[in-house]
Structure 1
Amino acid sequence: MTGTSLAAAAPTPVRAVAIPRVLSIAGTDPTGGAGVQADLKSIGALGGYGMAVVTALVAQNTRGVREVHVPPTTFLAAQLDAVSDDVEIDAVKIGMLQSAEIIGTVRRWLGRVRPPIVVLDPVMVATSGDRLLDPAAEEALRELARDVDLVTPNLAELAVLTGRARATSWAQAVDDAQTLARDTGTTVLLKGGHLDGADCPDAIVAADGAVHEVGGARVETRHTHGTGCSLSSAMATLRAGGATWPEALRRAKTWLTGALAHADALRVGQGNGPIDHFHELRGAASMVPASWSTLAWEQAAAVRADVDELEFVRGLGEGTLPREAFLRYLAQDAIYLGEYSRVLAKASALAPTPEEQTFWARSAESAIVEERRLHESHLGATVAAPAPQTLAYTNHLHASARSYAELVAALLPCFWLYTDLGIRLATRRHDEHPYDDWLAMYGDPAFTAATARATEIADAAALEAGPIERARMDAAFARSMEHEREFFARA
């Protein structure tokens, strides 16, 4: 690239916009599952306005590629200029670039226009494992990776970019992503979808090595065509809308998981079909709010499994937990409940309806009166100092009160996880169980009903929220689940 590189220039601050204008630079897919067609669907599904510049015309379907026609780079440059001469671009997503000449054309345009957000999906390796680019193009793409804000390789592409063997474990993949981020100075979206196992983690890996992991469960479907295209364009849209990269990943992953879960119903093609980009909009409106809480709970599957395996939880259910460990837990829980009740009062103050105000106010009263009675019956007048885990959790809840939707998402695990444990552990209750009163409280039908109502409220808030607010809801829920795990682990 001639002139000043993008990496050397002062970064352009991200200016959140209500409807991000996002440009996709990629090839085509006439069946609509990948390339610019998938990008445009993803951008629209997540609240953006999509535009497209075509790098190649691809004759393909769900069973494979038949032929590729690459227009002259002069025409590519003309398309790029036609858009940027007229439209203010908030983000750019770059997909398939077939040659060093094409990559150079795009880099020169980026250097001149300097869009605020640039996301690169480095299409370098076919599903068969064959390399798609010649060595000159691969090197040009490595250099382009230095000039963008986010690069989203799959594991095969990550191996090419780092010059290493393809990762076969999550730990190895994280190390490779940290190497790429450090060497390029670019944030990396690490995708774990091509690893084996039921878990499907992704992560944002910053240039300083920081890793922001987002867990998830694998969706069993063969219809994954265009997943990489769709995720990268979703990330560009959400970031332009004001989300941080970790917030964008949480929201995009929730959306993408749903798109994969609904893919089979599309029945498009006879091969590896597309995902359902508009699953959140399709069908009855009632399907949308249910999807938020269900997916949030599914995304926390790994944390829930960790909780079940904790020595404290196992001992609590079996009645073998040492008394001093239970008292340590109750002492911290009493401190937690004092702050928790204040957060519930904040939810009541922010609630949009009298009915919801009443629900949260009664929950606050219950936290103070009903549940504290349990603590006092065991602890008496004992007062403990707050543990770091307790402070971290309550600080997170208070910080989540910047909006009603985010706050109710943060509060939901305080209901749901305890109800889940209470119902499952209730089968172990007996008159001589040393902690029967704890099991009885959280397995009580009234608490189960309160959890159901809190879930309904959170789902309704998700329905009203925009994509950025939903991303914050996802993050708040996930963080509360992690705090619950650490709270139990500390005991």
Structure 2
Amino acid sequence: MKKYRYTSTLTIAGFDPSGGAGIQADIKTISALGCFATSVLTALPVQNTMGVNTIYPIPYKAVKEQIAVILEDIFPDALKIGMVHTCELVNTIVNTLGKYPKIPLVFDPVMVATSGHKLIEDETIQSIVNKLFPIADIITPNLDEAEILANMKIETIEDMYLAGKKIKGLGAKNILLKGGHLKTARLTSLFFSGDGKVYEFHFKKYDTKNTHGSGCSLSSAIASYLAQGKSMLDAVTLGQDYTKEAIYHGRDVIIGKGNGPLNHFFNPQKLIKNELVH
């Protein structure tokens, strides 16, 4: 009898008790796109749709052991890293992953929540640039995060181009710079590819507050498509299409009193099975 395994994607990220962002959004996205989701918890924020109250850390030893126990048993086809809010956590993740074979890695530099709350310690930024950027195949900052990384204000698409070049100079291989916060009629994002090309994407903006966890969902979608063997450009394109549709299908639903979640399961896929070769 033939035996199979599921295409799997691992998320290393923080918790969201409201279920719209963080590791919950990652698991929903990965599952909706037909991949088997495994997860490692990095932090325990106390938050809801209206904002973040406080962040409780997960012991670094526990993070290290979580990563090890998954990679030794269910080795993923791709990996997404989200909330990494201390230098010690950066070191723990990078040092632990370094012991295993390299896989496609998407890093979402979560620094600012949809509500505007800052989620990262200032001294951690340089550690992220020095240690996580080199091992990440793509980073996916929003404009707030890009402003921190590029040390500049971003108010126009021209500013986005300049910021992307500055962030590329920090050592990022590929960058998807998300322009959802620009005051423009359409949503524009820029993909700075590893070969030096820049691709513009334009999407319709929807009149909705339900964008909580959109960045987490997008980075997890890109990781899931990479796990399925898509090229980086295709994964970026398909990941954005998925996120746009998830926002559209959840735009008129009221969940909570603040920024509501996406509809991750507007078109769920069956888990992808791959035949095991002995």
TM-score relative to the length of structure 2: 0.89
**Counterpart residue number, 2:139:** 151
* 1:44 partner SS: helix
**Counterpart residue number, 1:122:** 109
Match of 1:227 among 214, 232, 236: 214
* 2:55 partner SS: strand
Spell out the pairing of 1:3-152 with structure 2 (5 A cutoff). Answer: 19-127=6-114, 129=116, 131-143=118-130, 144-152=132-140
Match of 2:162 among 166, 171, 175: 175
Number of aligned residue pairs: give it: 267
Q: Please give the root-mean-square deviation of Cα atoms over the aligned residues, in Å.
A: 2.1
**Counterpart residue number, 1:246:** 233
Q: Check whether the contact 2:78–2:103 (CA below 8 A) recurs between aligned residues.
A: yes
* 1:113 partner SS: coil
In the alignment, the residues of structure 2 paired with residue 122 and residue 154 of structure 1 have an alpha-carbon distance, to the nearest angstrom, of: 9
Q: Check whether the contact 1:21–1:90 (CA below 8 A) recurs between aligned residues.
A: yes
Q: Check whether the contact 2:8–2:78 (CA below 8 A) recurs between aligned residues.
A: yes
**Counterpart residue number, 2:149:** 161
The gaps in structure 2 that reach 5 residues or longer are: 273-278
Match of 1:270 among 251, 254, 257: 257
Deviations 1:23-67 (A, max 9, x none): 111111112100000000111111211111001122211112223
Note the C-alpha offset of 1:209.
Answer: 2.7
Q: Check whether the contact 2:114–2:212 (CA below 8 A) recurs between aligned residues.
A: no
In the alignment, the residues of structure 1 paired with residue 95 and residue 146 of structure 2 have an alpha-carbon distance, to the nearest angstrom, of: 24
In the alignment, the residues of structure 1 paired with residue 240 and residue 120 of structure 2 have an alpha-carbon distance, to the nearest angstrom, of: 29
Spell out the pairing of 1:466-485 with structure 2 (5 A cutoff). Answer: none
Query: Quick one: which amino acid aligns to residue 77 of structure 1?
Result: K
In the alignment, the residues of structure 1 paired with residue 48 and residue 63 of structure 2 have an alpha-carbon distance, to the nearest angstrom, of: 24
In the alignment, the residues of structure 1 paired with residue 263 and residue 237 of structure 2 have an alpha-carbon distance, to the nearest angstrom, of: 18
**Counterpart residue number, 1:364:** none
Deviations 1:270-311 (A, max 9, x none): 211101001124xxxxxxxxxxxxxxxxxxxxxxxxxxxxxx
Note the C-alpha offset of 1:177.
Answer: 1.0
- Report whether the alignment pairs 1:203 with 2:175: no
Deviations 1:363-406 (A, max 9, x none): xxxxxxxxxxxxxxxxxxxxxxxxxxxxxxxxxxxxxxxxxxxx
In the alignment, the residues of structure 1 paired with residue 110 and residue 82 of structure 2 have an alpha-carbon distance, to the nearest angstrom, of: 6
In the alignment, the residues of structure 2 paired with residue 199 and residue 90 of structure 1 have an alpha-carbon distance, to the nearest angstrom, of: 34
Query: Quick one: which amino acid aligns to residue 222 of structure 1?
Result: K
Distance 1:230 1:185, change over 3 A: closer
Match of 1:214 among 197, 201, 204: 201
Note the C-alpha offset of 1:185.
Answer: 4.3
Q: Which moved more, 1:108-117 or 1:215-224?
A: 108-117
Note the C-alpha offset of 1:18.
Answer: 8.9
Q: Check whether the contact 2:51–2:117 (CA below 8 A) recurs between aligned residues.
A: no
In the alignment, the residues of structure 2 paired with residue 159 and residue 70 of structure 1 have an alpha-carbon distance, to the nearest angstrom, of: 26
* 2:98 partner SS: helix
Q: Check whether the contact 1:26–1:55 (CA below 8 A) recurs between aligned residues.
A: yes
The gaps in structure 1 that reach 5 residues or longer are: 1-16, 282-462, 467-491
* 1:215 partner SS: strand
**Sequence identity, in percent?**
36
In the alignment, the residues of structure 2 paired with residue 198 and residue 84 of structure 1 have an alpha-carbon distance, to the nearest angstrom, of: 44
Q: Check whether the contact 1:178–1:207 (CA below 8 A) recurs between aligned residues.
A: no
TM-score relative to the length of structure 1: 0.52
- Where is the helix percentage greater, Structure 1 or Structure 2? 1
Deviations 1:419-467 (A, max 9, x none): xxxxxxxxxxxxxxxxxxxxxxxxxxxxxxxxxxxxxxxxxxxx99x9x
